[in-house]
Structure 1
């Protein structure tokens, strides 16, 4: 099963809950209870910054990450892309380090490093020998507190981001279509803006825009340090207090809700671009998963929608593949689904497909909806549901073999205000979903009124080198 369907990805965007500063001590409940299940320990520094430590002594290495509860959804109109641009600029110097020196020093320590930005969060990480943890904590805390760079450095890096947009979106018809789909589906929600930003906003962006975003959101109480590897929690806490704990405390700015209004009718867009094949994507507004305990009815529905997506396309030979892409009269070359029901913003259930030769985008659209209607009419078997929950369990277990995955899971959970053992809790909840619940959500959430359809209308291809299509759903990161 693809990593995108594991619990890590399912947890990547749940709704955030604020955490309050406290004295440096393990967080008590629910974190103390969840620590028993994960082995992780959570602390709060005097300035409000959080620390999570996950000991794993199988190898003398460690992963060090800093996650901030800020992403493109926290931007304002006219500065789309600034969260991602700032991520790039964090590598361009501090009061004590010139541009590029941070990366050079991490490499000299025998480490690897990078960063990422999504709608909901921004993160930075290094994987290093465990004995060099103090060095990277000093480096990361310095740039967190003292990021600065010349205006000329900003102008050069902004051109890198623009090229990134061209490569990942403008030159990729399907990625451009998904961008247009989100812009058409959402009206009030900041999810309507692309993480990389609109090109016109990038053209108009100033060094001051990035500095203002940095000053506003890069505050200790809006961040967590995650360390996983061959470490002792008490020693990591002491290092964190010495480095990050010296950063002055500041309040996290208030966030306005910007709730998306109810959609009251189908929306359609046609997107013309040079392409070999048509493509169609359907976005249905659905409820999101907001908690992993004391569930509301909408949380139960979100769990059932996750299961529905896995039954439709979560494994080789799943329903959409069998019905649309196999046989002499196949409709599509490929087809898939995605229950994007976790995030700080509104949720969507996506269906998509590429028409087979002799078939149209309308044929694929009808076939995709017919498969959901079939589930609503006939239901699914207990065996189908058991298969996908077994795969979820396997994905959770395999992820523990990677320090990067362990640290990422913990960072995701913190961003969403969840307990440290949220992955285990979610897995148990998914195991409790019934075939009747899956049939029920298939019947209730796939009508016309909450649907937006985007169709790629192929135009003649100009001669140009082909480029591999990137993952349109992946967080934005630095180009190398």
Structure 2
């Protein structure tokens, strides 16, 4: 296929995706007198609605010695309130056929429920009560801390890959508080007390420190009176300053060597880069998103094609760049060696570095760039099929003080990135001065 034909084929693939990416469904924004931000997005494709309540507090807000507080509070929130006994709120929601969950990240703690629209008022009443009158009883905390410590054992301490990533993150984010593990360090999980947790709850679960997003088969006229009835009565309280974890301009190259219980040696490489909330120019972030795809974001990416499939140096290669963060972030590459007997991780690192240097020196072809762009746009389009994913994205954007409709112009923003932009951004940000590396070796039985 000649160059002209290949470009036309890629354009024909991209055009329908761009068309599908717009327009966005009707979305309404308002703020209650107590400071609670609310977004309502109408999506009438199914008779369901999701309620996503996000608090702007996560592990990056926690001080040394108090790590894990945000995640602990997530566990404790359903342990009773002025209106409910322990776990009764979940039982009520389940009886209504709701799907519910909660999660904690470096930036936020969120609670979401998906159910029939006629029960939305029940969800609002329960969440408004839990965010204002949670019991946080000592006996419940003691029992729950045992559960959380066991969770850490299973997910981190007894998981070689997860333990390596946690240690690596701590050196990769040298000056940023995002280095704090969400679940907390084990020694802190043994000494958390009622008073600390109560202070965390009272200062961080204020209405003005929260975002409520409703997506589904509802209208603004239905949602607004319910929000005012249940959330509008909550008292306005002081809102803590929103921290933006930022990294040093030139943190310097860092290396970590670990031996953990794992089947094959692995390599971790991360570059300190800005997120959308801290970048001086959003164009840089869009270029980094595309670089992430070009390097290892799919089976057609460079590291997969050359080092996994062609040379068979690695059995698995992956990359991750999350641009919707409150502060600076990482572009992370992970690779597992295909042969457990090979232990020369320096040579493996050198092979990856040569591909990065190629990107420094030579812009990608337009065909490669269009392919990466199409994949990113497609992911966003497909994500709109889920009302839960829509709600998560909207809440995340508002929680880091970005416009809720930022992704509505995503396809057009990605189209503006040229091959030369990719080369320049790679040469600026993917440098040894911003690089952290972890060599993860297989721990021998006698070690």
TM-score (norm 1): 0.84
Decide which of 147, 167, 171 is 1:160's aligned counterpart: 147
Decide which of 290, 299, 305 is 1:316's aligned counterpart: 299
**Distance in 2 between residues matched to 1:258 and 1:410, nearest whole Å:** 21
**Distance in 2 between residues matched to 1:436 and 1:277, nearest whole Å:** 37
- CA 1:132–1:367: 2 relative to 1, 3 Å: same
Taking the TM superposition and a 5 Å limit, the aligned residue runs for 1:70-469 are 70-255=57-242, 259-290=246-277, 296-297=280-281, 299-327=282-310, 329-357=311-339, 358-359=341-342, 360-461=344-445
2:277 and 2:402 in contact (8 A); partners too: no
Kindly report the root-mean-square deviation, in angstroms, between the aligned alpha carbons of the 2 structures.
1.9
For residue 432 of structure 2, give the secondary structure of its aligned residue in structure 1.
coil
The answer for unaligned runs of 5 or more in structure 2 is 1-21
Provide runs of 4+ in structure 1 moved above 4 Å.
255-259
The answer for unaligned runs of 5 or more in structure 1 is 1-34, 463-480
Deviation, structure 1 residue 258? 6.0
2:59 and 2:67 in contact (8 A); partners too: yes
- CA 1:258–1:65: 2 relative to 1, 3 Å: closer
**Distance in 2 between residues matched to 1:445 and 1:110, nearest whole Å:** 48
Decide which of 17, 23, 40 is 1:53's aligned counterpart: 40
For residue 190 of structure 2, give the secondary structure of its aligned residue in structure 1.
helix
1:281 and 1:353 in contact (8 A); partners too: yes
Cα deviations by residue, 1:132-184 (Å, 9 ceiling, x for unpaired): 11111111111111111321111111111111111111111111111111211
For residue 57 of structure 1, give the secondary structure of its aligned residue in structure 2.
coil
Cα deviations by residue, 1:395-433 (Å, 9 ceiling, x for unpaired): 222222211122122111211222221112233211211
**Distance in 2 between residues matched to 1:363 and 1:71, nearest whole Å:** 38
Cα deviations by residue, 1:417-473 (Å, 9 ceiling, x for unpaired): 2222111223321121111011112222233222111111211259xxxxxxxxxxx
For residue 114 of structure 1, give the secondary structure of its aligned residue in structure 2.
strand
**Distance in 2 between residues matched to 1:344 and 1:237, nearest whole Å:** 28
**Distance in 2 between residues matched to 1:239 and 1:150, nearest whole Å:** 29
- Decide which moves more: 157-166 or 186-195: 186-195
For residue 204 of structure 1, give the secondary structure of its aligned residue in structure 2.
coil
Cα deviations by residue, 1:72-122 (Å, 9 ceiling, x for unpaired): 111111110110000000111101211110110001111111100000111
**Distance in 1 between residues matched to 2:347 and 2:149, nearest whole Å:** 36
Deviation, structure 1 residue 336? 2.3
- Decide which moves more: 436-445 or 45-54: 436-445
Greater relative contact order (Cα < 8 A, sep 6+): 1
2:28 and 2:40 in contact (8 A); partners too: yes
1:67 and 1:121 in contact (8 A); partners too: yes
Deviation, structure 1 residue 303? 1.8
**Distance in 1 between residues matched to 2:45 and 2:243, nearest whole Å:** 44
- Decide which moves more: 221-230 or 424-433: 424-433
Cα deviations by residue, 1:212-271 (Å, 9 ceiling, x for unpaired): 100111001111211111112122100010000000001202346664334443211111
Count residues in correspondence: 423
For residue 65 of structure 1, give the secondary structure of its aligned residue in structure 2.
strand
- Decide which moves more: 337-346 or 379-388: 337-346
- CA 1:60–1:337: 2 relative to 1, 3 Å: closer
For residue 325 of structure 1, give the secondary structure of its aligned residue in structure 2.
helix
1:341 and 1:349 in contact (8 A); partners too: no
